[in-house]
Amino acid sequence: LINVNCVDINVMMSLTTINYNGKLQDKTKLINDLKKLKQSNAAGLMIDVWWGIVEAQPGVYNLDGYEEFVKIAVSLKFKVQPVMSFHKCGGNVGDECNIPIPTWVSKIAQDKKLYYTDQDGNQQDEYLSSSADDQRLFPSNSSKFRTPVEMYSDFMKAFAAKFDPYLKNGSINNIQIGVGPASEMRYPSYPSNLWAFPGVGRFQASDALFKQAAALHNVVIPTVNGSYNSSAAETDFFTIGYKTDQGVKFLNFYEEMLFNHTKKIKDEAQKAFPATTLSIKVSGIHWMYGHPSHAAELTAGYINLNNSGYQSIIQKVLGDKVHFDFTCLEMKNSQQEPKALAQPETLVRQVIDVVKSQNAKMGGENALPVWDKAGYDQITKQIKYAGRSFEQFTYLRMTDALFEEKNFDQFCKFVKQFTTIGTDAIIGIIFGGLALVVALVIVIIVVMKKKGTGETQSLIDNDYT
């Protein structure tokens, strides 16, 4: 049957599908689970390709476990969406593993203080700071030293070389480029060891190189933005400071640092994967959305004052070739506690409207596990609102709980909406077909009349000449 909505439903794999030694964690169970998942008609599988696993030694890439995974997936007629995961696994909501960035990288980053850092000196070892992008401090498999951007580029080139046949035949049909914590385009502003929902988080702008860059641009880093768990109304910066000339200058600089970092990696990804669709994930920071400052979005790096943000991400960073991936499609405003000032439903609609206005393409994910009909209905509602702008939805994630009878039945019903023709679509096709037939008949009649007129005139001319 025809996929009228043209939306692929994919499923995220377990974070530990490939173990720390680069091998499939449990091959037999994986195959059995994927055979079961195939019954749902899900289209593809998303899997994190962990930097900390693949490049355990500088410039040496062990992708054998991932190759085995792709072979299994393709044999079962799944498409594959790898994530270039340059962050640490562990420390985010739902993380079930501890896979740090490569040890030889983290040692240098620790010594040279190249991690994102808050104003109290807390370092976030989940991802290298964007301020270190051009620091040529990291070894390769030769005498050459590399910058972080060059390391990310080499990693993606190695992946492209290993999986060239699958990229060429479309078995790998989308690659998500990790550009921050949890593979998202953002700062690590709400680390799980320091933050609790719905705190505003903290700006991550106090590592030495970041402060040097700020000073070069005469930017003053704010120090009155409360604690990780403050509400916006409790802070000076998110009530007054963000509107001052100094505050605006800082926020623009903070956003620009994130944008420049993302663009550098995106450019390298487009070189490595010139013929493959790429996507970059933007985090659904939905709490404090109802406050005028959008404080939690600001600390993550998104300026959304007057609900005018996100357009610049497409215009300045993604362009028209890289898809905008977004989270929290399952959430409703009505489910949120009042003090959080959370409006996930409104945020998702805002992002969809921006994507539509820019004639861009997007994909989406659920932020938390979804088992019930209400959650799936909300996702469906948002996908339908996005219309032709929406390319694929990725379900988080494949677990034993997903295969429990009631849960799997709900999931299958959800997928079915996007793999069969609904009543409205059938009616549309019938009426569209009838309209085409009528139009063809009219054309034929007009042509025949013209032909008949021409033949009659020819006979008249012959009789009187």
Measured between alpha carbons, how far is 360 from 323 in angstroms, rounded to an integer? 7
Only one residue has tokens 């994630």, namely 397
Active site residue 68: no
Which run of H or of E encompasses 79?
Answer: strand 79-85
DSSP reduced 3-state for 394: strand
Active site residue 455: no
DSSP reduced 3-state for 289: coil
* 167 residue type, one letter: L
Q: Are 309 and 303 in contact (CB under 8 A)?
A: yes
DSSP reduced 3-state for 399: coil
Which run of H or of E encompasses 313?
Answer: helix 311-313
Q: Are 204 and 116 in contact (CB under 8 A)?
A: yes
Q: Which of 255, 345, 365, 391 is catalytic?
A: 365
Closest CA to 379 of 364, 369, 391: 364
DSSP reduced 3-state for 209: helix
Distance of CA 376 to the CA centre of its chain: 19
Only one residue has tokens 């169970």, namely 29
DSSP reduced 3-state for 50: strand
Measured between alpha carbons, how far is 275 from 392 in angstroms, rounded to an integer? 18
Distance of CA 62 to the CA centre of its chain: 25
Q: Give the DSSP letter of residue 198.
A: T
Measured between alpha carbons, how far is 38 from 442 in angstroms, rounded to an integer? 47
Q: Which of 184, 255, 345, 391 is catalytic?
A: 184
Backbone angles phi, psi at 397, to 5 degrees: -145, 180
CB atoms within 10 A of CB 359: 10
Please give the positions annotated as active site. Answer: 184, 365
